[in-house]
Amino acid sequence: MTTTGRTATEQRTAPPHERGTPGFRRLGAALWLSGLATFVLVYSVQGLLPTLSAEFGVGSSTASLALSATTGTLALAVLPLSAVTESWGRARVMTWALAVSAVLAVLAPLAPTFEALVVIRALQGVALAALPALSMAHLTHEVSPRYLGGAVGLLIAGNSLGGLSGRLVASWVAEFGGWRAGLAAVGAVSVAATVAFRLLLPPPTAPTPARTRLRDLGAPLRRHLTDPGLLCLFGIAFLLMGAFVTVYNFLGFRLLAPPFALPGALVGLVFLGYLAGSWASTGAGRLGDRFGRRPVLWTSVLLTLAGIWTTVPDLLGAVLAGLLVITVGFFGAHSVASSWVGRRSALLAGAVPAQAASLYLVAYYAGSSAGGAVGGVVFDHAGWTGVAGYVTALLLGALGLALALRRIPAPAR
C-alpha cells in the first residue's frame, strides 16, 4: 500500500471517546443524524409504493423497483467505494455522500417517468454507498471498545428513525399533495440532517488509514470470506433484511385492499412501529455488551418469527401487534450482528474492520434488494399467507446461522 502524508502507524490525537463525555455525545448525535439522513432517503418510497403503482400503472412488484434500485446499487458499490474513500478522511467522505444524495433527493420529484425515477434512485444508492460502512468503521475507531455495542445501537436507532421519518413524511404529504410533494419534503429533511451532521461531528481522534487501491483489497477480502463466523453474520444480515423489507414493502398494499380498505394516510401510520426499532437497537446493543451477543441474537430472531405469524389473521389489531414484534426483533438482531462483525474482524489477523463492515452491508442491502423483489412476486401470486411462509423460511435460515455461531470460537488476538 501507499500512503499520503499520514500513515497507518500514526498516533491518535486523543483517547477513544468514553460514554458520558462531550465527544461521545457529539459523535453519537452526528452519526445518529447520518443514519437518519441515509434511511430517510433510502426508504422514503416504501410508503409510496401503492401510490406509484397507481400513478404509473405498474404492478406491486414493479413498483418496488423504486426501492430495490437504491438498495441494489448501494450493495454493489458499498465495498469498493468505502475501501477506497476511507483514506480520503471518513468525516469528509460522509459529508459529501450525504450532500450529493440530498441533491439527488431534490431532483427525484422532477422525474417525468417511472423509469427516470428508478434511475435517480439508483444514483442515490451509489452516492450513499460509502456512508453506512464508514459510519460503522468510524465508531469502531473513535469509541472505546467497551461501549461500542451501545454506540452502534445508537447509530442503528438513527437508521430506524430515519426509515420511519422518510416513510411517514412521504406518505402524509403525498396523501394531500401527491408523490412528488412527498419526495420533495423528504429532500428538505435530508438537506437539514446533512447540515446538522457536519456541525456536530467532532474532529477524529484516530489517524487516517493508509491509501488503499482496489487491487490491495484481495488479501483482506479473502480473509473475511474464509472466516466462518463472519460468513454466518453476513448470511444473517442477508436473510433478516430480505424478510424485513418484504413485510414493510407489501403490508401497505394489503391494508389498502379489502377487508381492511384503510385510507392511505392511515396506512402510513403503520411505520410508527419504527419507533420500537429505535428502542430495540439501542437496548439490544447494551444487552449484548452485558449478557453476551448469542442469546440476544437468538431471542431477537425468534421474536421476528413470532411476529410474522401474528400478522396473518385479518384482524387489524393482530396485524399491528405483529408488525411491532417484527420491528423489535429485526432491529435487535441487526444491532447485535453488526456490532459483532466489527469486534470479530478487529481480532482477525489480516482483516480490515472497515471492509468487514462493508461486506456486512453488501449482504444487508443485497437482502433488501433481492429479498424484497422475490417477496413481491410471492405477494402477487400467494397473498399475505404466502408472504408469511416466505418470511418464515428466511428467518429459519437466519436462526440456523445464529445457532451455528456458538460452535465457532472467537479468533485469538
DSSP state string for 120-175: HHHHHHHHHTHHHHHHHHHHHHHB-GGGHHHHHHHHHHHHHHHHHHHHHHHHHHHH
Residue 404, exposed/middle/buried by CB under 10 A (0-12, 13-18, 19+)?
Answer: middle
Architecture of the 22-201+217-407 domain = Up-down Bundle (1.20)
Per-residue pLDDT of the chain (413 residues; tens, 9 = 90+): 333 333 444 566 666 777 778 888 888 888 888 888 888 899 899 889 999 999 999 988 899 999 999 999 998 988 887 767 767 777 888 889 999 999 999 999 999 999 999 999 999 999 988 787 788 778 777 887 777 777 777 777 777 677 778 888 898 899 889 999 999 999 999 999 899 998 998 887 766 666 666 666 677 788 888 899 999 999 999 999 999 999 999 999 999 999 999 988 788 888 787 778 767 877 776 777 677 778 899 999 999 999 999 999 999 999 999 999 999 999 899 989 988 888 888 777 777 777 788 889 899 989 999 998 899 999 999 999 999 999 999 999 999 999 999 888 877 65
- Say which DSSP state 408 is in: S
The C-alpha cell at 257 is: 385492499
Tell me the three cell numbers of residue 340. 459483532
- In whole angstroms, give the CA distance from residue 248 to residue 139: 29
Nine cell digits for residue 85: 474513500
How many Cα atoms occupy the beta-carbon half-sphere of 63 within 13 Å?
23
Residues 1 and 211: beta-carbon distance below 8 Å: yes
